[in-house]
Each structure stands twice: as C-alpha cells, then as structure tokens.
Amino acid sequence: MRILLVNPNTTATMTATAADSARRVANAGTEIVAVTSSMGPVSIEGYYDEAFAVPGMLIEIAKGEKEGAEAAIIACFDDTGLDAARALADIPVIGICEAAVAATAFIAQRFTIVTTMERSRLPLEHLVHRYGMSGRCKVRAADIPVLSLEDPASNARERLRAEITLALKEDKAEAIVLGCAGMADLTAELRAEFGVPVVDGVAAAVKQAEALVALGLSTAKQGAYATPVTKPYKGLLEKFAPQELKAS
Amino acid sequence: MRILLVNPNTTATMTATAADSARRVANAGTEIVAVTSSMGPVSIEGYYDEAFAVPGMLIEIAKGEKEGAEAAIIACFDDTGLDAARALADIPVIGICEAAVAATAFIAQRFTIVTTMERSRLPLEHLVHRYGMSGRCKVRAADIPVLSLEDPASNARERLRAEITLALKEDKAEAIVLGCAGMADLTAELRAEFGVPVVDGVAAAVKQAEALVALGLSTAKQGAYATPVTKPYKGLLEKFAPQELKAS
Amino acid sequence: MRILLVNPNTTATMTATAADSARRVANAGTEIVAVTSSMGPVSIEGYYDEAFAVPGMLIEIAKGEKEGAEAAIIACFDDTGLDAARALADIPVIGICEAAVAATAFIAQRFTIVTTMERSRLPLEHLVHRYGMSGRCKVRAADIPVLSLEDPASNARERLRAEITLALKEDKAEAIVLGCAGMADLTAELRAEFGVPVVDGVAAAVKQAEALVALGLSTAKQGAYATPVTKPYKGLLEKFAPQELKAS
Amino acid sequence: MRILLVNPNTTATMTATAADSARRVANAGTEIVAVTSSMGPVSIEGYYDEAFAVPGMLIEIAKGEKEGAEAAIIACFDDTGLDAARALADIPVIGICEAAVAATAFIAQRFTIVTTMERSRLPLEHLVHRYGMSGRCKVRAADIPVLSLEDPASNARERLRAEITLALKEDKAEAIVLGCAGMADLTAELRAEFGVPVVDGVAAAVKQAEALVALGLSTAKQGAYATPVTKPYKGLLEKFAPQELKAS
Amino acid sequence: MRILLVNPNTTATMTATAADSARRVANAGTEIVAVTSSMGPVSIEGYYDEAFAVPGMLIEIAKGEKEGAEAAIIACFDDTGLDAARALADIPVIGICEAAVAATAFIAQRFTIVTTMERSRLPLEHLVHRYGMSGRCKVRAADIPVLSLEDPASNARERLRAEITLALKEDKAEAIVLGCAGMADLTAELRAEFGVPVVDGVAAAVKQAEALVALGLSTAKQGAYATPVTKPYKGLLEKFAPQELKAS
Amino acid sequence: MRILLVNPNTTATMTATAADSARRVANAGTEIVAVTSSMGPVSIEGYYDEAFAVPGMLIEIAKGEKEGAEAAIIACFDDTGLDAARALADIPVIGICEAAVAATAFIAQRFTIVTTMERSRLPLEHLVHRYGMSGRCKVRAADIPVLSLEDPASNARERLRAEITLALKEDKAEAIVLGCAGMADLTAELRAEFGVPVVDGVAAAVKQAEALVALGLSTAKQGAYATPVTKPYKGLLEKFAPQELKAS
C-alpha cells in the first residue's frame, strides 16, 4: 500500500519529521511517500498562510494519486485545504487534526489540543467543532512560532510542557493532542513525562489512511465533494483548472 | 496482534457473521478471537436487552485481556456497555457504532445509519449525538427483528434496501452505515447496488483497534474511565466485583 | 398511593436515609415502599458499578409493580438503568437526578450539582445534557467516596461544603443540587447555612412521582420505551428474560 | 395549601376551564384560587398581546401573594411574563408550558406541542428551547383562533385532532402536549381517542406548584430573579413601581 | 430619511445621551427623532422593569410610524419589547443589543458585552444566544446601577474599565460591546484607552436602520411578526388594543 | 467613501451585475470600485474553485487598500477567503453571505437561502452555522450552474422560482436570501412576485461596509485576524508573501 504524505508548507525538515513519525507506525507493507510543497509559505501560521499553502498541496495530491497512492495525508494541523483535496481526489484524503481528534475520542472523554501560535487557536476550535468534538476537546496555544520547534536554542519545548501542565490541571484533560506536525518527534517523551495518552496527528492519520484503504472506502462523490466541474482558470493559476491538474 | 471480538448477545451464528467480516479486513498479522457471550439475550433490541447483555460481555473482556488480547471490540451496534468495559479494561475497547461513524466522517459530510428495530432508533441517535455527529448523521429503522436478518424467508433484506433508498433521497445521504452487526455480510453487495460508500461497523472497528494498538494508545485512566474501585458485590452478581472479575 | 423507592446499591443504611427523605415530603395518603437491591455493588461509583446495579434494580421494579406500586423511583443520582426500567414497567419510573434537575429549573436559571467522586462527574454531565440543562447546570465533584458520607469520622461533609462554596462563587450558581442519595439528610442544614435553595433528588422524585400518578400519566410505549420483546435469555441471566421477570 | 391560578387574558370563561382542570388534579388539601386579569387582551395570540397581558397578571400575583398564596400559576401557554413574575414574587411561580414540557419529559423521549395560532408557534419554540427540550419536542399550530375553542360551531376541535394525527405520524411523537389553556377540558377524550399520553399544562402546573411548596423550594433570589429595585415609575404605570405593587 | 429613536425608560437625560451618539454617526440626510417614553420605570434593570417599559415604548413606535418614521430603534440594551414592536409596526425595528452584536461579528471572532447590573447578565445572555452568538460573545456585569453612569461622583466608570480589563485578559475578547445605552458617550475614550474596537449599540442601530431602509427591507409579516389580531383590550390597558393604538 | 467590491471569479459580466446592485443602494457619497480577479476560475462552484479564487481576490484587496478603499466586499456567496482577507487588510472586509444573513436576521425569524449548485449547499450551511443562524436559516440549491444565470436560454430562473416556492411552503420561510452574486438583478422582481422580503447579499454588504466605516470600526487584530507574520513564500507563489503583497 502506498500512502502519500504531503507537507503543505515548504520546509523540507518538517517533512522529514513528519515522515519519521509516519514510518514508525505504518504497517510493514505500507510505503510512505513524503513530499514537500513546491510553493507557498515556509510555515503555516494562521488564515493567510493557510490560503497560500493550498495550491502547492493540491499539485502534490493530484500527482501522488496519478502515481499510484491509495490515500493521502495533509500533514499540517490546520487540515489545510482538506475539503478541496477531497473534491479533487478519488482516493481518501486525511487531515492530521481530524485523525488525531478521532483517535483520541476512542480513548478519552475530555482532551486538549496544544498548538503553537495564538492565531491558530480559533481556526483549530472551528475544526474541532466541525469534527463534532467541541464539547469534549479544548484548544490551547503555547504561543511559539512553528519553526522554533526545530530550534534547540528556543524555549519552545518548555512552553509546550507548561501548557500541557495547565491543560491537565485546568481543563481536566485526560489526554493531550499535539497540535502541530512539527511536534511529532516529542510524542514518546511527553507520554513518559506526563503519564497520559499523548497523540500525534501524523501517526494517527497514517493508521486512518491504512484503515480506509483496507475497508475499501473513499470519499463520497455525491454532495459537497463531487468532482470539480471542468472550466477555464485564468492568469497565473491557469494550469490549476481541475481538468488540467488531473491531466498534468 | 490479537484482537478480541465479543458478541454481547448469545447467538453464535451472529458471532460467526461478525468474525467473517472482521477477518476479511484484518492485517495479515492480526488474530481475531471471536467469542459469544455466555449469558443474556439472544438478540439486543432496545434498552432492556442491552442492560442484560453487559455482564456477559464484561466477563469476556476481562478474560480476553488476561489471555493477551491487545484490544477489544464490542460487536453490537448499540455499543452495549462500552463505558463499563473501558473502565474495566486496560486495553482499548471499541464500539462498532462508534467506529463506523468515525470512519464515515472521513469520507462523507452527511450520512445515514440504517438499523433494524424502531425501538433502537433513539438509542442510536443518542450515541450519534455523543460521538459528535448529530448534525451530520441521521438514523433510520427498517423495522425488522434482528434475527430475521439470518432468515432467508424473511423480507428483512428488502426492507433494508427500501430504507437505504429513502436515506439517499430524503436525507441526501452521501454514504450509508449498516446499523447492525448482523448486516456485515451485505456490505459488498449493497455498495455495488447503490453506488455509494456502505460502511460496516465490525470491519471499521477492527481497523480502529489495530490503529490504536499500533499507535501505543489505550484508554485514559484519569477521569470517567478510572479503574473501578475495589468493593464487595452481593448476591447473584458477587463474582462480578471488579477485583473478582479481574482476578478470575 | 403506593410509590416504590428502589435503592440500586446493596447498602441498606443508604436506603434508610433515602426513605426518610422521601417520607418527609410525601403526601399524607402516599405510602413509600423502600427496598434495597439484593445483588450487586455496595455503592455506585462510576460506569462499572452502574452496570451491575441494573439487574437487581429491575427485579425490584418488576416485583413492586406486581405488588401494586403506582410509580417507581430509582434512588441513585446516576439514574441507574432508568431507560431499561421505563421499557420494562407500565408505571412511571423517575430518576432522582432527573427529578432534581427538573425541579431546580423552575426556581433558578443557573445551578450546580455537587456530587461525590470525580469519576461520576462526566456521567452526570451526560445526564444533565440529556435532560436539556447543560447550558444552565454545572457538575462538580467533592472527591469523596459515597459511603464516607455515612462515616462521621470522615471529612466528607467538610469537602461537600467547600465545593458548594466554590459553586456559588465561581459558577454563580443560584441554587445547589445534592448529587448523591446519601446526602439527602443534609438538605435542611445546608439551606440554612448557605441561604440558597438546596435540592435533594429523592424528595424531588417523590413529588414528581405523585404528580405523574395524579395526572394519570405513564411512560409512552410507542418508541424507545416499547415493552421488551419476548425472547430467550441464557445462562446466569436466564430468569431476567422480560417475560420471566414480569411473570415471576 | 393555597395556589393562585392567574389567567392573564381577560376572558373569564377561559379561567373557568383552567380552574376546572386544576381542581380535578389538586390534592385534597389544596385550594385553587382562580382569577382573571382585570386588564388587557381577551386572548393572547402572539407577541403583542403577550406584552399587554403582563401588567394585569402581575397585579394578581402581587395580590395573591399578599393574601397567602404559597405558589402561583400563569395559565397561558406562552408562559406570559413568567420572568417578571419570578422577580416580583417570593413564592414560586410556574408557567403551564414549562410544567407541561417538564412532566412530559419524564414519560416520553419525543413529543409534540399542538397549539392554536401559527403566530404562536415560534414563540413556543423559543420557550421549548429555553426549557432545554428543543431536541425532543416539536411545536405545531392547528391554525385556530384561541377563542374558537369555546365555540361549538367552529371546526377548532377537528383541526386540533388533524394536527395531532400528523404529529404522531410525521414527528413520531410518543406523547402530545396541548398548547393552550383553553384545551384543558379535552385531555381525557383525546387520550382515549389517540391512545398516547396527552398532557394538559394547567394540571401539570398544579402538581408542580404543590411539589415545590412541599419541597420548601422557591425562586432563587441571587441572579436574574433578584427582587426588583425600588424606583419611580411614571405616568399611567406609576402604581406598578415594584415597591407600590408589593405594598398595594 | 427619518429614524425614530425611542428610549423605553422615562429618563430624558439618557435619551439625550443616546440621541447624541445616534446623530454623530447618522448620514447627512438622516433625521434622528429621539423620544422618551411617557410611562414606566426611570431605568430598566432586570425583567420586572423591562415588562413595564414595553407599553410606553409601543405608544411611541405607533406614533412615530404614523408621523413618517421609516425605521425605529429601541434604545435600551435589553432590546425591550422588540418582538412586540416588530409585530405592531410595518417599518423595521432595531434593538441596540442586536445591532451591536451583529456589527461586532463582522470584525471580531470573540467579544464581550460589559453591562451594568448583575441581574441583567442572564437576560443579555439569552439575547446573545438568540442572536446566534453565544459561542462567540460573553456577557459581564460591572455591577453598577444604570443611572450611576450619569453621576460623576460615582465610581461607575472605574468599575466599567476594570471589567473591560478582565474581559480582554480572561475572555480573550478581541472587541468590547458597551452593554447599556447610557455608556454611548464613552465609546471614543475607551477605544483610545484599550486599543481594541469598542462598539456602542445606539450608533450601530442607526447604521443598521439606515441600511434596512436603503435596502427596501422591512419586517416579514408571515409568521411570528404577523400584524396583531384586532380584539378588545380591557381595563386600564383598553386603549392599547392594536387597532386602537394604530388608529390613535 | 470608497468601497472596494472584488469579484473573486474571473468573469467580468458577473462583476458588472454585482456592481450595478451595489451602486443602486450606496449612499450618495460612496464610490463603488468594482474589480474582477485576474486569476483563477471563471465561476466558483464548490470547494476546489473556492481555493483557487483566493489568491487573485487577495491581490485586489491589498491593492484596493493601498489605493484608499475604506472597506472591501468579497462578492461571491461562499464568502471566499474572507478569513485570510481579514487577516491581511486593516480595513474591514465583508462577505456577501455574511451580510445577507445578518440583514435578514433583523426582519425575519426563519428564512431560506436559495443557491445555485447542490455542491455549494453544504459549504453554505457551514457558513450559516458559523454566522450563528443554523437554527433560523435553511439552505436550498436550485441545481443550476452559476453562469447559466446569465444565459437567457437556460431555465435557471424558472428553477430558482420553483425552489423559492418550496422554501416558502416547506421551510415556512418568512424571507428569501438569494444565494449567488449573479442573482442580484432579480431581487426587485422576486419581491414583487412572491410578496416576501428578498435579500441580495451584494446590496446588504454595501450598507454593512458603509456602516462599519461610519462607526469607525475595523477588524480586531488581537486574535485569529492578527496581521500575517513576515516570512518567505516559495515558488510560483513567492510574491504572495504577506510583506510582498502589502508592499507591491
């Protein structure tokens, strides 16, 4: 089974972190094809970056599907462009926030996502609401830039720990969800340290992707995820017309 | 990996149907241990039967865990006794309604569960609500006794088809969830017939169980699922005191 | 009028406390028949105990109804097995959480339940949600074992008071609901002490039971509370088949 | 025990209908004091009438309380002025919609209110929402003027029956609530005719009022129902200043 | 364009404050006709005052409409009698809470209303819920009497500032709504002081009124806002019968 | 006052239709600057087109703001890219769905949006939910391609009328919202034909934009709409880095 893992930002080191996490949990027969978007922001921090991470991500989805991927994962915790990707692709597409929240709901009644920047908190609350978990899942921001997670000199990991401590105490969280693909490598040590389930969305998405493929399930095409209508696209984005992207 | 599949009713032929469905999607290295409850109702139709299906199910969970199961599935669409099982066990426990709804949410925005008896419709609506999907998932009953699904002379399958047809038209369902473990063998033919994703909870639960084990996740024990308090149980149920059941 | 009060745990002293509270508010012509379950846990603390308190409670409901009770009360704040009891019985069945919440809603816009163990907090939140009051009623746990309420040497009552104080201040609760049948005897002194309405579920349930009988109302039998289907039950629970229990 | 029943419209025959219903279910020791408002609309059909039914109703509440009533009932299904009455009075005040909905919730999971005029449908939906039952209770209007219920020549009762029939079929209602005080005398015959629980709010409110008095509970005065602040009222409404009304 | 601004309390100085705020933002061609109710409470603090502010307000609405107003504003933050006014009038009627909340929703995802008295907090929460913003907008009370806002010797403004500070910190409010018409004159200085958007409902309502008139939109008359039914009103309120008020 | 109206699709005739509607209701002193996106899809039908309409729209917002626009309107009923635009701009940005829904909420309790394609129905339901109106506003699709609205030979307008008829009957809609910028020119004739308020989002947005400017209000910048972080963007989208777009 081949699963495509798209990092929708353009920082290859984050792709590597996510790919490591993915391969650690994948089945023996699963190949993880990890790609970095070729265009757009180096990190996704809020609504504006998110908008410009979508085109590059969709190119990779279209290309990966043509090259035989059986499922695709969008490896940014904003589930960037998930709806558009589901409309475009015939294979199932999984967001890592969606997968993390779904997995955690099987093991805890109340849990908390700890994410990076304050400006991502409300967008994640919207996702959680849409995934049906707003009554069970809170969102906190540790107020750290995304790329600082990769900088050993920053205090990002201390701040993350401090926010997890607050979540356990004030939210009575029974489990913690790591709210950024760049935190995936911390999962094991945080579990050991805090003694509660700690969930990484990348790993959760891999298992969910394998599950949907094994179940023979893919995106329903009657409704909001119907295949995009053939039509001209103009200017700089001409080649993104759905019929072009699928054919390219 | 060993996964326990407990049929909480006492009809072994339904266990066999569920086990077949489970084995069809399990990973190569997964062993499905399917057991039938030794006590209680022959089918679970409504709140009363549900209450008496719990003790026998919990015996099997306790026994299966001691014998090395790494996850357990409760193979009745009411997710019978799921909360009690999660409190009792240290391994993850999955309900088939919960798993079916979670899987379908990755591939459709609106979907419908078609179950058997009208008296099960509202209990399933409560589950759907609790799983966060009441805005996206409707519940319909085909008004058929559970065991009639196994009787070729009954019109149960025609009624099921008729209700699926209504769900697609009136609910604008993009996908269908089969609302009874006894329907698992119909999945493939209904997909072919209706041309939409059709989801069987038993199969979905197997993949979810494998996923949680691979992710190293189990039930959070701080909160509502804390291990039951040691205490005397009296009378006929004496041996079900948590310390007894765990030790037996 | 004869009203059955079933204590679903097997501790007779708690039955006595509840019966006292019930008789204090019953109409002159109302006979309170208080019974203790003959099987299962000595106290109900969380989901696991709850499951095993149901069979013994249902025996008493069936027996009480045959002996002429016109309504039944389940005297545990988890409203243990309420749905199964409503399906079984033709007389109305009342849960003490349900009755307390309904009564308080007539006199306060915001109120708080203070219960015993933390592990009961979320189950009560689910009940409150189902009774339509999640926007108006919070739940707090004083973190005390149920039976410690009967132990003068414990600090249970101090902890209860401390939690009520927090509810008034932090929740801006206008009234307090006592979240355990074993607290019924404290109602009067807590009202005097805190100067706000304090509601005991046992007393509230008695008045609600009398009300339904006087109104000539009983459980609707078209829908989720339809009389259980006649069918075999196996093994240890054989005699609980609905047709057996009704006939025994 | 003395219970005040205020008809907030100015039609004495409707007061008589409500009083009959009240007395039929009251305890032996309960005196029902039924009064008709001395000012305002002859029937309450929609928001405008409702606003002008409040002053006359509040006069009667203040007067009744001074004369020894231990609880008060507002006998219009819009629960006209209920919040203002609760702020004014020290005794508990009950609305008949609130009481009917609360009683029905003990015996049915899904039910429907059938009211008179279409223009009252949304106001009742707002009440149902506030009482926490919008997920369980629908509202239908039979499209009949309130006073036509008293006119044997009208087809009001046929229309009411037709709407009940639709509620049972389309809403899968398990019970029916009569959505107007003027329907109280129909309760028994509609129960017999339709074979489901039929609930009259006046009767339900009497039992709820008796219950609160027996429980020693009255409106919480810390919060939205705090006693009105002493202050001047001007012009035509001068005498309604709270300190005046209480003293008059 | 002529817009009627009704102060539903009987304190003319508050009308002046509101009128100033209204005129500051009105279009060049808009005439603000500001009137003070001729009857009822001098300030509106809670449910009881609210009930008695409605008749005098409705007189002014009826009169203003006859004299050519094209829209009406109710200048009390409780949106006193808004539903009744919409039923009565053919011109659009705007509440200042409703207008403030709607305007703020265009510029902030999370915001807080700071009002005067604690007893007004829950009524405003009900309004916010009805306007669809309960997930985005909190309500706080500074615990100050309404008329103290006009008293330079009181500490009302300090308390207001203290509560705004808490809203920004604890609620993470992105904007502040002033929850009383009597605070309108503070808008500019609070914006400067706190550096976040501060919204005055009177000003917001003026722009909303102008908008509806320009768009050619008025209250829908099919449904809950249908024109009141012609019928007798009795006693002191005789002249308020809808046909009388419209004709007077 | 200068207001920017951006058509996020690349069809200039639709811009003209929207601009006409905008100018018809604008204040005398308001200049409407209408622009067509220079890149992306010729019409926006579903999630995929929406994603590619955002970059071109944001270019125009940045450019318009630099050239002195005081507010901006996104003239597609999906409110395409609204969150990103609010983060980018310092001036207020208005979506036409958001404006239409907000205006209609002032005049009707229940209303229905009639949009074009079925695949847009659920995205609009998500918007309506987010704007707090899911309990009051339904969404229907007339199942017509967006550009067919401009084709006199199509039956698009007949289908639109048929769907409005259903909305009035089945949804009991009190008012209708036209769910596509391309329907703006039909407003007047549909009002006349159906006799209920019919709301065009473009016109509503103009008045809302004028209102916010007059009120001195713009997007709160503390929270999810904080100004985008300066950072590199790569590849084809390099020039869209926020610091580039703002400076260009």
Q: Decide if D2-96+203-247 and D98-201 have a common fold.
A: yes
Cα D136 to Cα C223, D95, E163: the distances in Å are 13, 19, 38
Q: What is the largest CA-CA distance in chain D?
A: 55
What residues of chain A lie within 8 A of the CB of B99, using their CB? 106
Check CB contact under 8 Å for C88 and B48. Answer: yes
What integer is the mean pLDDT of F143-163? 92
pLDDT band for position F152 (cuts 50, 70, 90): confident
Residue C1, Cβ neighbours under 10 Å: how many?
A: 15
What integer is the mean pLDDT of D192-213? 98
Q: Is residue F189's pLDDT more than 90?
A: yes
Check CB contact under 8 Å for C228 and B49. Answer: yes
Instruction: Show the tokens assigned to B209.
Output: 């169980």
**CB contact set of C113 (below 8 Å; sequence gap of 6+):** C97, C100, C101, C124, C128, C137, C138, C139, C140, C176, C177, C178, C179
Question: Within 13 A of C75's CA, how many CA atoms are on the CB side?
Answer: 36
Scored b (16 or more CB within 10 A) or e, E156-190 reads bbebbbebbeebbeebbbbbbbbbbbbbbbbbeeb
Nearest Cα of chain D lies from the Cα of E147 at a distance, in angstroms, of 11
Instruction: Show the tokens assigned to D49.
Output: 């009438």
D117 vs B172: CA distance, rounded Å: 32
Residue E140 CB burial class (10 angstroms; 0-12, 13-18, ≥19): buried
Nearest Cα of chain E lies from the Cα of F235 at a distance, in angstroms, of 32
φ, ψ of residue C221 in degrees (nearest 5) = -110, 10
- 8 A C-beta contact, residue A207 and residue A94: no
Architecture of domain B2-95+203-247: 3-Layer(aba) Sandwich (3.40)
Closest residue, chain C, to D107 (C-alpha): C219
pLDDT band for position F163 (cuts 50, 70, 90): very high
Q: Is residue C158's pLDDT more than 90?
A: yes
Determine the pLDDT at residue A150. 87
CA F163, F165, F168, F169 dihedral sign is: negative
Comparing CA positions, the residue from D10, F175, D116, D95 lying closest to residue E225 is F175
Residue A116 three-state SS: coil
For chain F, the first-to-last Cα distance in angstroms comes to 23
Cα B168 to Cα A90, B163, D100: the distances in Å are 20, 9, 37
Q: Where are the domains of chain A?
A: 2-95+203-247, 98-201
Comparing CA positions, the residue from C142, C210, C153, C134 lying closest to residue C178 is C142
Q: How many CB pairs under 8 A join A and F?
A: 160
DSSP letter at A108 equals: -
Low-confidence ranges of chain B (pLDDT < 70): none
Residue B2 CB burial class (10 angstroms; 0-12, 13-18, ≥19): middle
Check CB contact under 8 Å for D51 and E235. Answer: no
Determine the pLDDT at residue B224. 93
List all chains that touch chain D, counting a touch as 3 or more CB pairs closer than 8 Å: C, E
User: Given its phi and psi angles, is residue A175 left (phi above 0), alpha (psi -120 to 50 degrees) or beta?
Assistant: beta
B182 vs B179: CA distance, rounded Å: 9
Fold type of domain E98-200? Rossmann fold (3.40.50)
Residue range D21-67, pLDDT digits in tens: 999 999 999 999 999 999 999 999 999 999 999 999 999 999 999 99
**CB contact set of A247 (below 8 Å; sequence gap of 6+):** none
Check CB contact under 8 Å for E49 and D223. Answer: no
Nearest Cα of chain A lies from the Cα of F67 at a distance, in angstroms, of 21
What residues of chain A lie within 8 A of the CB of F225, using their CB? 47
Which value, in Å, is the radius of gyration of the alpha carbons in chain E? Answer: 17
What integer is the mean pLDDT of E176-182? 95
Nearest Cα of chain E lies from the Cα of F201 at a distance, in angstroms, of 10
Cα C151 to Cα C14, C146, C190, D14: the distances in Å are 12, 10, 18, 56
Determine the pLDDT at residue F229. 96
What residues of chain A lie within 8 A of the CB of F10, using their CB? 233-235
Residue A215 three-state SS: helix
pLDDT band for position F75 (cuts 50, 70, 90): very high
Which CATH number does E2-96+204-247 carry?
A: 3.40.50.12500
What residues of chain E lie within 8 A of the CB of D139, using their CB? none
Check CB contact under 8 Å for C105 and D132. Answer: yes
Q: What is the dihedral of CA C13, C15, C20, C21, to 10 degrees?
A: 120
Residue range C98-133, pLDDT digits in tens: 999 999 999 999 999 999 999 999 999 999 999 999
Across the interface, which of C42, C122, C226 has its CB nearest the CB of B224? C122
Q: Where are the strands (E) in chain C, listed by range?
A: 2-7, 31-36, 40-41, 71-74, 93-95, 111-115, 137-141, 175-179, 198-200, 233-234
Check CB contact under 8 Å for E58 and D42. Answer: no
Cα B199 to Cα B25, B218, E149: the distances in Å are 12, 24, 62
Residue A158 CB burial class (10 angstroms; 0-12, 13-18, ≥19): exposed
Closest residue, chain F, to E110 (C-alpha): F223
What residues of chain A lie within 8 A of the CB of F41, using their CB? 231-234, 241
Touch between C and D (at least 3 CB pairs under 8 Å): yes
φ, ψ of residue A9 in degrees (nearest 5) = -100, 175
Instruction: Show the tokens assigned to A189.
Output: 């040590």
Closest residue, chain B, to A94 (C-alpha): B106
Residue range E184-194, pLDDT digits in tens: 999 999 999 99
B106 vs B246: CA distance, rounded Å: 36
C141 vs A30: CA distance, rounded Å: 47
Q: What is the dihedral of CA A151, A154, A160, A165, to 10 degrees?
A: 140
Nearest Cα of chain F lies from the Cα of A245 at a distance, in angstroms, of 11
Check CB contact under 8 Å for A235 and F38. Answer: yes
Across the interface, which of F52, F56, F119 has its CB nearest the CB of A224? F119
C91 vs C5: CA distance, rounded Å: 13
Residue B52 three-state SS: helix
For chain B, the first-to-last Cα distance in angstroms comes to 23
Across the interface, which of A38, A51, A123 has its CB nearest the CB of F224? A123
Determine the pLDDT at residue B247. 85
Which CATH number does F2-96+203-247 carry?
A: 3.40.50.12500
Determine the pLDDT at residue E214. 98
Nearest Cα of chain C lies from the Cα of B190 at a distance, in angstroms, of 28
Check CB contact under 8 Å for B25 and A214. Answer: yes
DSSP H helices, C67-107, are: 82-88, 96-105
Across the interface, which of A43, A232, A241 has its CB nearest the CB of F231? A43
Residue range F195-216, pLDDT digits in tens: 999 999 999 999 999 999 999 9
pLDDT band for position C150 (cuts 50, 70, 90): confident
Check CB contact under 8 Å for E228 and D126. Answer: no
Check CB contact under 8 Å for C40 and B237. Answer: yes
Q: Is residue E150's pLDDT more than 90?
A: no
Determine the pLDDT at residue C201. 98
Helix (H) or strand (E) holding E210: helix E201-214
CATH classification for the domain delimited by F98-201, as one of 2.40.50.140, 3.40.50.2300, 3.40.50.12500, 3.90.1660.10: 3.40.50.12500
Mean pLDDT for all residues in chain C:
97
B152 vs B130: CA distance, rounded Å: 35
Nearest Cα of chain F lies from the Cα of E220 at a distance, in angstroms, of 5
Q: What is the largest CA-CA distance in chain E?
A: 55
Residue range E14-65, pLDDT digits in tens: 999 999 999 999 999 999 999 999 999 999 999 999 999 999 999 999 999 9
Check CB contact under 8 Å for E241 and D46. Answer: no
Q: Is residue C152's pLDDT more than 90?
A: no
Nearest Cα of chain F lies from the Cα of A27 at a distance, in angstroms, of 32
Q: Inter-axis angle of helices C121-130 and C96-105, to 10 degrees?
A: 60
Residue range C55-71, pLDDT digits in tens: 999 999 999 999 999 99
Instruction: Name beta bridge partners: E112.
Output: E138, E176
B84 vs D210: CA distance, rounded Å: 39
ipTM of the complex, rounded to two decimals: 0.97
What residues of chain A lie within 8 A of the CB of B111, using their CB? 220
Check CB contact under 8 Å for A46 and F123. Answer: no
Across the interface, which of A48, A224, A237 has its CB nearest the CB of F52? A237
Residue B199 three-state SS: strand
Q: How many CB pairs under 8 A join D and E?
A: 160
What integer is the mean pLDDT of D221-226? 95
Residue A192 CB burial class (10 angstroms; 0-12, 13-18, ≥19): exposed
Residue range A69-110, pLDDT digits in tens: 999 999 999 999 999 999 999 999 999 999 999 999 999 999
Nearest Cα of chain F lies from the Cα of E185 at a distance, in angstroms, of 13
pLDDT band for position F110 (cuts 50, 70, 90): very high
Cα D108 to Cα D175, D200, D211: the distances in Å are 6, 15, 21
Cα B55 to Cα B39, B58, D8: the distances in Å are 8, 5, 55
Q: How many CB pairs under 8 A join A and B?
A: 135
Which residue, among B74, B107, B133, would best test binding to A if mutated, counting the most A CBs under 10 Å from its CB?
B107
What integer is the mean pLDDT of C70-94? 98
Q: Is residue A147's pLDDT more than 80?
A: yes
Instruction: Show the tokens assigned to B239.
Output: 């041996």
For chain D, the first-to-last Cα distance in angstroms comes to 23
What integer is the mean pLDDT of F141-164? 93
CA B206 vs. chain centroid, Å, equals: 10
Identity at D174, one-letter amino acid code:
E
Identity at E113, one-letter amino acid code:
I
Instruction: Show the tokens assigned to C240.
Output: 């609980």
Mean pLDDT for all residues in chain D:
97
pLDDT band for position C247 (cuts 50, 70, 90): confident
Question: Within 13 A of A69's CA, how many CA atoms are on the CB side?
Answer: 26
D168 vs D197: CA distance, rounded Å: 11
Determine the pLDDT at residue E152. 87
Q: Is residue D248's pLDDT more than 80?
A: no
